[in-house]
Amino acid sequence: MIAILKYNAGNIKSVQNALTRLGCSSLITDDRTEILNAEKVIFPGVGEASSAMRYLRERGLDKVISSITQPVLGICLGLQLMCTSSQEGNTTCLGIFDTEVKLFPSTEKVPHMGWNTLLDVQGRLFRNINEHSDVYYVHSYYAEPCAHTVALCDYSISFSAALQKGNFFATQFHPEKSAGVGEMILKNFLEL
């Protein structure tokens, strides 16, 4: 069973629908025991960093997420909350990935929305994914490239399209909305 973390962020049902299309059973939950006993955990999200972190802390889910030993996939806001901090609401985040989340420069249109190209892809999450594949983004904040960056994207500046550290994987883009490429990335995660 795959646990999809419930924390009052959007996009959870579309992730569950993508898993169902892949023939995978999932459960949307904020229950500590269900999360820790799941085969894998997905930490999706569309929302605002400070209110999302407040919800996680109030329920002790910040400590639960950091203690998970099975594979975890953060998506969009999930990736950002796994970083050290976010400029959005001046938020201290989980600190799994040692990088900051920043607002795109004012010279750019935000949100960065639509299809964009993956660069420098590496690691198990991107098995059978071609360099320069396109994936779907909707975000105004980005994680700076760091030692945990396993894919990049350019939107006037280079940012982390994906991060990986140990059992923690994360994508800034939405694999559940990224057609065949996204489906393959989800399959790769499910096969870890």
* Active-site annotation holds for 176: yes
Phi, psi at 140, each rounded to 5° = -110, -15
102 and 141 Cβ atoms separated by less than 8 Å:
yes
Which candidate in 83, 139, 148, 176 is catalytic? 176
Rounded to an integer, what distance in angstroms lies between the CA atom of residue 77 and that of residue 10?
9
Cβ atoms of 50 and 146 closer than 8 Å: no
Q: Per the structure block, which two tokens stand in for 169?
A: 């994987």
Q: Which of 65, 69, 68, 41 is nearest to 55 (CA)?
A: 65
- CB under 8 Å to 166, separation ≥6 — which residues? none
Marked catalytic residue, from 76, 83, 93, 153 = 76
**Could you identify the residue written with the tokens 């209110």?**
51
The residue from 24, 148, 174, 191 that is catalytic is: 174
Active site members? 76, 174, 176
